[in-house]
Amino acid sequence: MAISDPQLALLPDVRPLIGDQRVSNTAGGEYEHKYAATGKPTKRVPLCGAQEMEAAVQAARQALSRWRALPAPQRRDMILRLCQLIAQNADQLAQLQTIENSVPWMFASKLPHAAVDYLTYNAGWVDKIGGDVVPTWPARAVDLALDEPYGVVAIIIPWNAPLPSLGQLLGPALAAGNTVIVKPAELAPFTSLRIGELIVDSGFPPGVVNVVPAAAQGGEALVEHPGVDKIHFTGSADTARKILAAALKNLTPVGLELGGKSALLVFEDADLLVAARQAASAAVVLSGQGCTNSTRLIVQRTVYERLMRVVKGLIKHTVVGDPCDPRTVMGPVISEAACDRILGIISRARDSGCGRLTVGGERLRGEFASGYFISPALFEDVDNKSDLAQNEIFGPVVAAMSFDSEEQAIQLANDTRYGLAAYVHTNDLNRAYRVSQELMAGNVWINGFEGIPPSAPFGGMKQSGYGRIGGLAGIREFTRPKNLWLSIRERSVSGHSESAVS
């Protein structure tokens, strides 16, 4: 299960990329990355501190005027050239994704193509962003609402899916004309640094994109910096509160895509096999470490027992193993600390009696003992008021409960502080629409989930954040309108008053 020497040779230069230069001596210390399947170190990663963040902001500010001045077709073509390079290096990038966060190759192999899809879509907006002509009164005027970039944007991405996150966020930020500082999580820096190299190879002016791995100290220096014009953070609500407090110093606007406790509502007329597969996938995909995973399973009582039998069968037959093995469906969780935390949650939930643990929930031993493997867990008959049902676990745990009426299903689904995603399984189109309208979630999927389209707005409600990425809403997230008012003055011609645009 160990990573081979050829795989380790794929790891990029781990020094931060600021402008077109690598930084060797950093103020933020080092992070020893470990392969989660074995617990063995791969590489020590230098982390940025305040000094490097200062340099990154200056590099981004210096590049801003040049980037904005480039004709739109040139900026578009640079993004498309980046897409070509990502596609050409897809296998390497997928392997890096597997090494850094242990997402199984079965899924990792698709992630570079997802990043390309997001970037390609947003490249199409570069030459279409402009603004609007708006009516004025009572005075006659020409009023232009112009779309302008914020300037320097700090993008803080999570460790669970760096490649798609980079595509979702770099795409609109660059298309809108911003320069960017990417702070990847110290747990998973490799794909971001490799993408940074490909950005340089694509011909982007130095400083348009800077990649600065950092821990909390460096992240705080970045979000407090007065030279940062916009922050976008993807991660936990607890970290978001710290970012908001730091951003308050300069009143820096912040976009947030935070966690979730997404409900999967299954009605009695649903295709139960399709619903069961999605329910099991909530614990299996990314080892449950996904903000949109449907970790609260809410099932109509008339089909509850039948669905539970199918879900348990699917979970029991999940192929857990080496993430580099193409047959593996589920790998380990990200770290020893995460493993201990998740096992503690499972143990407390089991002991408290808030639900019945009917399958999984144990640390795997034997050949898996040195890694951070947890068997996917299903709790049945869970109290929706319990910590198990209310708190995001970010691990392979599903909490199931039953309902009798449509109204009760909606009430259970909405009874959470989160509002990122929800899922509805029913063959009644009227019910599907009616229920989805009542669900307090930014995204509702009906009868399946095939990913997040680049053209669709994605984001949360309540404590799942605010702002949207994807589609026109994603472009708007990284632009702000400037209003330009041109007066029309009166002039006298042959004794008569005529209007002219001054």
Q: Can you state the percent helix, strand and coil of the chain, rounding each to 5? A: 40, 25, 35
Tell whether 101 and 243 lie within a shared domain. yes
Residue 321 forms part of a structural domain = yes
* Structure token digits, residue 35: 């392969």
C-alpha to C-alpha distance for 320 and 405, rounded to whole angstroms: 37
Query: Is residue 28 located within the same domain as residue 156?
Result: yes
Residue 268 structural domain: 263-446
Q: Is there a domain that residue 456 lies in?
A: no
Centre a 10 Å sphere on the Cβ of residue 62 and count the other Cβ atoms it contains: 14
- DSSP of 238-282: HHHHHHHHHHTTTT--EEEE-----EEEE-TTS-HHHHHHHHHHH
The answer to whether the beta carbons of residues 66 and 205 sit under 8 Å apart is: yes
**3-state SS class at 234:** strand
Does pLDDT of 448 surpass 50? yes
pLDDT greater than 70 at residue 495 = no
* pTM over the 0.85 mark: yes
Domain assignment of residue 468, yes or no: no
Count how many residues are written for the chain. Answer: 502
Q: What is the pLDDT of residues 231-254, one digit of tens each?
A: 999 999 999 999 999 999 999 999
Tell me the pLDDT band of 4, cut-offs 50, 70 and 90.
confident
Same domain membership, residue 270 and residue 232: no
Q: What is the pLDDT of residues 168-198, one digit of tens each?
A: 999 999 999 999 999 999 999 999 999 999 9
Give yes or no: residues 219 and 296 share one domain. Answer: no
Residue 287 maps to which CATH number? 3.40.309.10
pLDDT of residue 387: 96
Residue that is written with structure tokens 């990154």 in the block = 56
CATH number at residue 160: 3.40.605.10
Angstrom distance (rounded) from CA 396 to CA 361: 8
What pLDDT score does 501 carry? 45
pLDDT of residue 337: 97
Q: How many domains does the chain have?
A: 2
Flag whether pLDDT at 492 surpasses 70.
no
- Residue 209 sits in the same domain as residue 275: no
In a domain, 130, yes or no: yes
Q: Is residue 455 part of a domain?
A: no
Marked catalytic residue, from 257, 380, 392, 477: 257
Which of 429, 446, 463 is the endpoint of a domain?
A: 446
Backbone angles phi, psi at 331, to 5 degrees: -110, -160
The pLDDT of residue 494: 59
Exactly one of 291, 324, 339, 354 is catalytic; which is it?
291
Average pLDDT, the chain: 95
- Indicate if 214 and 319 belong to the same structural domain: no
Per-residue pLDDT reduced to its tens digit, 18-47:
999 999 999 999 999 999 999 999 999 999
Q: Is residue 314 part of a domain?
A: yes
Are 218 and 344 part of one and the same domain?
no
pLDDT at 493: 59
What local confidence, expressed as pLDDT, does residue 3 receive? 73
Tokens of 348: 């407390």
| Inter-helix orientation angle 216-223/50-69, to 10° | 50
Residue 403 clears pLDDT 60, i.e. is over it: yes
> What was the pLDDT predicted at 1?
66
Query: Following DSSP, what letter does each residue of 171-207 receive, concatenated?
Result: HHHHHTT-EEEEE-BTTS-HHHHHHHHHHHHTTPPTT
* Residue 466 confidence class, pLDDT cut points 50, 70, 90: very high
Q: How confident is the model at residue 496 (pLDDT cuts 50, 70, 90)?
A: low
324 is catalytic: no
**Within this chain, do residues 424 and 330 fall inside the same structural domain, yes or no?**
yes
Same domain assignment for residues 243 and 268? no
Do both 193 and 123 map to the same domain?
Answer: yes
Give tens-digit pLDDT for 350-381: 999 999 999 999 999 999 999 999 999 999 99
Q: Which of 53, 20, 47, 14 is nearest to 193 (CA)?
A: 14
Residue 501 forms part of a structural domain: no
Whether pLDDT at 129 is above 60: yes
Is the pLDDT confidence value at 101 over 70?
Answer: yes
436 and 315 both lie in a single domain? yes
Report d(CA 49, CA 29) in Å as an integer: 8
Same domain, 23 and 134: yes
Q: Nearest CA to 370 among 414, 397, 398, 339?
A: 339
Q: What is the mean pLDDT of residues 488-499?
A: 62
- Sheet order of strands, 443-446 included: 356-359, 377-380, 397-403, 296-300, 263-266, 421-425, 443-446
Q: What's the confidence (pLDDT) of residue 196?
A: 98
Check if 291 is active-site: yes
- pLDDT value for 6: 66
- Any domain includes 471: no
